[in-house]
Amino acid sequence: MKTMQAALLLISLAGMVDLAAQESTQTRTAVFAGGCFWCIQPAFDKAPGVIKTVVGYCGGTEPNPTYELVTSEKTQYRESLEVTYDPAKISYEQLLDIYWKLIDPTQADGQFTDIGPSYRAAVFYSNEEEKKTAEGSKEKLARSDKFKKPIVTEILPTMKFYPAEAYHQKFYQQNPEHFEAFEEGSGRAAFQKKMWSETKP
């Protein structure tokens, strides 16, 4: 009997390990820079298939960057968002569709009133498949004639992503009034309404 119980326990544990392995392979991460990271988090949080999002810093080389260091504009870090998602429910291309509607892809020096290296938009790819998909999505946007100016958002190889400080996470939930005022004051909300009034995420 004990031998049988032990065998069943081993089978059960093996099943749990297999399930954990399946779950780990079912999720992927994508990283986007789109100006103030507060402003690109809400839309991804609402997207079906997105498991979690984390605001942070990507694109630089200094270890453990802080908000003060990044916004000093003395590094190559950009305010970014790491999106963990289930590719069975939402594709990388669909994430890109959300992303383009959150930024001004024709602006090279930052985003809206946030100017400087840390606010420059970029899609960070982690493999050749993502690079090809991102470039194709960018070309599709350019061919749509939605924008009169060239699409200048960079598509870059990803670097180590560092989560930002706790007070930046889900800022739109922590400080909704401040967030809404900032989104309106920066011109982002008006731009999105003008360009994507029927499809804003």
Active site residues: 36
- Note whether 32 and 58 are within 8 A (CB): no
- Note whether 54 and 163 are within 8 A (CB): yes
Among 84, 71, 12, smallest CA distance to 37 is for 71
The Cα 76–Cα 1 span in angstroms is 63
| Distant-in-sequence, close-in-space partners of 150: CB < 8 Å, separation ≥ 6 | 106, 142
Number of CB atoms found within 10 A of residue 194's CB? 9
> What is the CA angle 196-199-201, rounded to 5?
100
The Cα 119–Cα 85 span in angstroms is 24
| Structure tokens that stand for 181 in this block | 């005022």
| Distant-in-sequence, close-in-space partners of 175: CB < 8 Å, separation ≥ 6 | none
